A = this chain, B = another copy of it.
Amino acid sequence: MTKKSKRETDTSTEEKIKEAARKVFLQKGYSATRTRDIAEEAGINLALLNYYFRSKEKLFYEVMQEKMQQFFGELLSIVNDDSTKLETKIELIVSNYITVLSENPELPLFVLSEMKGHAEKIKKILPVQKISNNISFIRQLKERRPDINPIHFLMNILGMTVFPFIARPAFNHIAATNKNELDSILKEREKLIPLWVKAMLKAK
């Protein structure tokens, strides 16, 4: 067995804390999370949280940065890629989100809620270069539909794809669906949404 210093055993204390923080922050949000919740979830002494991360806030921003990257990162790569055509981009955006959010259903509500709550500080840690007017995806949409602001189509794709995860509790209540039923419906959307978006692009 390879030698390891104590701090890199199994999973390091630091990583245990961060993993616990991911879980608790995503489940409860920043304000409802107690540092004691995180310590308990991580199975460590409360003081270690401050020893490794200085403060609840600093730990939060590490998690937040990571989660914003997870939520926006791949999207931005896709829309920026000059080498894929519009139809392919649409398919990639949808299938990426359905995959990521199926594994991480709390991600969008967490990211969007906390972006609202910490608006100022968030600007500094945005992993997100602005989508300029010159970006591949926007140019392609303008070319296809010069009569419609391309941001509409971005809203449509993200709305159709991401919203069902955000509103999952509501769909569970409102519509008579159980967890498995809803999961399979969400999977179906991976194929359906690109078809619908293409239909929208043609609609006059």
- The residues of A with any CB-CB pair to B shorter than 8 Å are 28-32, 72, 76, 109, 111-113, 115-117, 119, 122-123, 126, 128, 130-133, 148-149, 151-152, 154-156, 158-164, 166-167, 169-171, 173-177, 185, 188-189, 192, 195-196, 198-200, 202-203
Q: Which residues of the partner chain B approach A111 to less than 8 Å between Cβ atoms?
A: 170
* A-B residue pairs, 3 tightest by C-beta: A159-B163, A199-B203, A159-B159
* A149 CA / B119 CA spacing, docked (Å): 38
Contact B112 A174 (CB under 8 A): no
Given the known interface contacts A31-B32, A200-B200, the answer about A123 and B185 at a Cβ–Cβ threshold of 8 Å is no
Are B115 and A112 in contact, with the CB atoms below 8 A?
Answer: no
Residues of B within 8 A of A171 (CB): 151, 155
Q: Which residue of B lies closest to A163 (CB)?
A: B159
Q: Which of B167, B175, B199 contacts A112 (CB 8 A)?
A: B167
A135 to chain B, nearest CB (A): 10
Q: Are B185 and A152 in contact (CB under 8 A)?
A: yes
> Closest Cβ of chain B: how far from A156's Cβ, in Å?
5
